[in-house]
Amino acid sequence: MLKKDFSDWLVVSDIDGTLNNKLRRLPKRNLEAINRFVIECNGHFTLASGRNVQSLRRHFEKLPISGTPAVVLNGAGVYDYNQEKMIRFSPINESAMEIVGKVYERFPSVEIEVLTDKTIYTLNSKIFCPVMVTADKLNHTDFKRFSQIPKENWGKVIFLGPPPLITAVRKFIDTIPDKKANFMSSSVASFEMLEEGVHKGIGAMEIADLYGIPYKHTAAIGDYFNDYDMLKTVYLSACCGQAPKGLHEIVKYHACHCNKGAVGDLLEYIMDKYEEVEQ
């Protein structure tokens, strides 16, 4: 007999290219499955994104999940939208901040976005940074020099630029010893830095602990390498059909393309097939 109550489950989803399709719209299949999982089956569902609190809010509030905290800034923070407070925030250390200055000195054309717990700072904002902050009308401050940027509560740093430039930036960072930071690729035009040991999976497990969710009932789905650590952390990992080969190699469930409702695919599998297949 299939399980009907999923109050002891937590499912976490990335947003862009996972929850939303390639046009950044929420497929009907995803919304219907989330409603069923949360409202009818009492399951816990939330989002884990590189977005900050302000940017993630409009996606979060479309779903019936107000009572469950979300993972922001790729794991640098866990935010409770119901109480409007940051439950946990892991700022980047000063040693890692210095790497940003070294990168900018070596590659003066790179654009840099610094996301703090409350706002966004941009450096050398020309093409990529304006697109990112303008799309969601995000609060931000532009700076002309690295030394002008306030050095407090950096949650995440994004290096932005044409793919060949970002490849060069990544290779340069690889040569720096004792980096004391976590780096990840979020697209061909962006490379991100977090505090050492911080990633989406850490936030997901913190939320699971809040609700006493057993490890074997934690699941997550993503579509790119900034989801890699999260998918390696939870028990039931899944990726969208269009995800790169490196993600398909580590997950337990291969969902459909995000345009066809990958999150709905995973939730339907958990609710309708998981017990009879896995247990």
**Residue in the structure block whose two tokens are 């979300």:** 70
Strand-pair category, 77-80 with 70-72: antiparallel
Question: Which pLDDT score is estimated for 136?
Answer: 79
Task: Single out the residue in 147, 178, 195 at which a domain terminates.
Answer: 195
Please work out, in degrees rounded to the nearest 5, the angle formed at the alpha carbon of residue 108 by the alpha carbons of 168 and 157. 70
Is 14 part of a structural domain of the chain? yes
Q: Are residues 53 and 79 in the same domain?
A: yes
Residue 232 pLDDT: 98
Q: At what angle do helices 94-106 and 163-174 cross, to 10 degrees?
A: 130
pLDDT of 228 > 80? The answer is: yes
- pLDDT, residue 251, reads 98
- Domain end: 195, 225, 240, which one? 195
Do residues 119 and 137 both lie within one domain? yes
203 and 85 housed in the same domain:
yes
| One domain, residues 83 and 121 | no
Q: Residues 178, 93: contact at Cβ < 8 Å? A: no
Same domain? For 75 and 108 the reply is no
CA-CA distance, 37 to 190, in Å (whole number)?
Answer: 34
- Asked if residue 167 and residue 129 are part of one domain, the reply reads yes
Domains of the chain: total = 2
In a domain, 4, yes or no: no
Asked whether residue 84 falls in the same domain as residue 50, the answer is yes
Average pLDDT over the chain, rounded to whole?
Answer: 95
Per the structure, the complete domain to which residue 71 belongs is given by 10-89+199-278
Question: Is residue 167 included in any domain, yes or no?
Answer: yes
Residues 140 and 176 grouped into a single domain: yes
For residue 88, how far is the Cα from the chain centroid? 15
Residue 36: half-sphere exposure toward Cβ, Cα within 13 Å: 17
* 109 shares its domain with 189: yes
Here the CATH number for the domain that contains residue 156 is: 3.30.1240.10
| pLDDT per position as a tens digit, 114-165 | 999 999 999 999 999 999 888 778 899 999 999 999 999 999 999 999 999 9
Q: Is the pTM of this model over 0.75?
A: yes
Positive or negative, the CA dihedral 270, 72, 98, 114 is: positive
Task: Based on the fold, state whether residues 188 and 113 are members of the same structural domain.
Answer: yes
Is 1 a domain residue?
A: no
Share of the chain above pLDDT 70, in %: 98
81 & 98 share domain: no
Q: Summarize the confidence of residues 54-63 as an average pLDDT.
A: 95
pLDDT for 1 beyond 70 = no
Task: Look at residues 148, 163, 195 and tell me which one is the last residue of a structural domain.
Answer: 195
- 98 and 185 belong to one structural domain: yes
Q: Which CATH number does the domain housing residue 272 bear? A: 3.40.50.1000
What are the tens digits of pLDDT across the range 61-102? 999 999 999 999 999 999 999 999 999 999 999 999 999 999
Judge whether 3 lies within some domain. no
